[in-house]
Amino acid sequence: MTQDELKQAVAKAAADYVAANVPPGSIVGVGTGSTANFFIDELAKIKDRVAATVASSEATKKRLEGHGIKVLDLNEVSRMPVYVDGADEITAKLEMVKGGGGALTREKIVAAVADRFVCVCDQSKLVGTLGSFPLPVEVIPMARAYVAREVEKLGGQPKLREGFVTDNGNLILDVHGLAITDPAGFETRLNQIVGVVTNGLFACRGADLLLLATPDGVRSMTR
Ligand code: 5RP
């Protein structure tokens, strides 16, 4: 199976999960990236079961609306049973690195409101230790150089994502050279650097369910 076929399979499994577990008329949080895009296309097939969605990026909002799916501002929503999104890396403890698409801050905010985070990945994303994928850190533009120096003190090699501005008008430093043994501690430590908006570690609030696509089928994993 190709990687796209695996993503397609896991996206279908996530839509089945929504249809089976989310009360009709609920609001669903939707992530960003190629796997999330496959999920949006599957969600479109069951859109009558969903009252509306909340999008984690402008790109996701556009794709949802393109399917005729209603998208709400998060401030209008107090209850969301599920958030579905991909990841760049995930461990068996369901701690993740996210933000390859640069949407990490909105993803973390929408996930915070949801009761459950369902992560959808192909098997290449499952790792023993987080950090081989460069860790994205969203920074306020005037703090870019300061944050880079502070990240170096923590052992990382930050690299500005050239030509990229987030939906929030900020910059991304991709931090190379990490082997993250304490994901929740490192997530908290990075967020204490003044000028950091947030970082792509999702460990303090990890996923609740991983749907992992393998050539033998979609596996369900919980913590
Ligand atoms: C975007 C993300 C994505 O979930 C992550 O990059 C995985 O993307 P893909 O499904 O394309 O592999 O965090 O900010």
Residue type, 99: G
Is 187 one of the annotated active-site residues of the chain?
A: no
* Ligand 1 pocket residue status of 85, Cβ below 6 Å: yes
Cα dihedral sign for 205, 5, 26, 70? Answer: positive
Nearest-CA residue for ligand 1 atom 8 is 33
pLDDT bucket at 200, cuts 50 / 70 / 90? very high
For range 1-13, the mean pLDDT:
97
Binding site membership of 125 for ligand 1 (Cβ less than 6 Å)? no
Nearest residue (CA) to ligand 1, atom 4:
86
Please state, rounded to an integer, the average pLDDT across all residues of the chain.
Answer: 98
Going by the DSSP 8-state scheme, the letter that residue 208 receives in this structure is S
> Looking at residue 180, what is its pLDDT?
98
Question: For the residues 73-97, what does the mean pLDDT come to?
Answer: 98
Distance separating alpha carbons of residues 206 and 177, to the nearest angstrom: 22
Query: Which of the listed residues 6, 32, 119 should we mutate to test ligand 1's pocket, taking the one with most ligand atoms within 8 A of CB?
Result: 32
CA distance 31 to 86: 7
User: Considering only CA atoms, which residue is closest to atom 5 of ligand 1?
Assistant: 87
Q: Provide the whole-model pTM.
A: 0.97
Asked if residues 126 and 217 have their Cβ atoms less than 8 Å apart, the reply is: no
Return the pLDDT at 117. Answer: 98
